[in-house]
Amino acid sequence: MELRGANVLVTGGSSGIGRAIAKTLAEVGSHVAITGRDERRLTEAAHALNALAIRADVTNESDVRRTFEEVLRAFGHLDVLVNNAGKGVFKPLLDMQRSEFDAVLATNMTGAMLMAREAARHFISRKQGNIVNIGSTASHRGAPNGTAYYASKAALRSMTECWRAELRQHNIRVFLVNPSEVVTGFAAASGFDQKDNPTKLRPEDVAHVVRAILEMNNRGFTTESTVFATNPRD
């Protein structure tokens, strides 16, 4: 697709991977809207990126509907949804609280579904569109303390395949991008320490892949992309 002039919506676009994706697409000429829950951080990011800021929580259905109303009012139509908003809690099974587990799935699984559902309605009416889900290599495996996060990303991977099967007939491409460890503020927000090292992935590496898969001619698409650091070190 031609990204210059395309209208793109990135959830969780005020920091980390989402902000890098928004920046990369804006730099090639896309019109970008970003969502987030922290108004101060969202406003700062939108100003820096020249993006449309929409304060919204993807777990809230009324917020999701309002998000699309604001995007369509500003842009007229939407070409790309990037489902990036994410949450993590990493605890042993015996210490996992129901509320924590539910909160992770609400954002990473249910929130992604709500956003994709609204996007699909719009894309079907236009007979074209693109949904990019930001998954994780966690969707392919398990690890200690990963019950909530790993389950949510496995669910997102499964939903991606379901949406792809349903929506291809409407000329809608559904992508999944699975990064391995990326140095962002996600670790601190999720309650664990992350060692920085220049050998580890950065958000712009994931953004590069998102741009590349979108730019392929609309007659084809890369269904799933995994992004590893070549030789990461702690």
The pLDDT of residue 176 is 98
DSSP 8-state assignment for residue 182: B
Question: Distance between CA 47 and CA 53 in Å, rounded?
Answer: 9
The pLDDT of residue 65 is 98
CA-based nearest residue to 167, from 129, 132, 134, 135? 129
Cβ-contact 49, 18 below 8 angstroms = no
The pLDDT of residue 191 is 86
In order of 40, 69, 92, 153, 233, the CA distances from 221 in angstroms are 36, 28, 38, 21, 32
pLDDT tier for residue 193 given thresholds of 50, 70 and 90: confident
Long-range pairs, 164-171, Cβ under 8 A, ≥24: 164/223, 167/120, 167/123, 167/124, 167/131, 170/123, 170/124, 170/127, 170/128, 170/129, 171/127, 171/128, 171/129, 171/218
Provide the whole-model pTM.
Answer: 0.97
The pLDDT of residue 138 is 96
Q: What is the pLDDT of residues 119-178, one digit of tens each?
A: 999 999 999 999 999 999 999 999 999 999 999 999 999 999 999 999 999 999 999 999
CA-based nearest residue to 81, from 11, 166, 165? 11
Domain parsing of the chain, residue ranges = 7-227
**Share above pLDDT 90 across residues of the chain, in percent, rounded to a whole number:** 98
Q: What is the pLDDT of residues 5-34, one digit of tens each?
A: 999 999 999 999 999 999 999 999 999 999
The pLDDT of residue 192 is 86
The topology (CATH level 3) of 7-227 is Rossmann fold (3.40.50)
Where in the sequence numbering do the catalytic residues fall? 149
Q: What is the pLDDT of residues 47-80, one digit of tens each?
A: 999 999 999 999 999 999 999 999 999 999 999 9
The pLDDT of residue 39 is 95
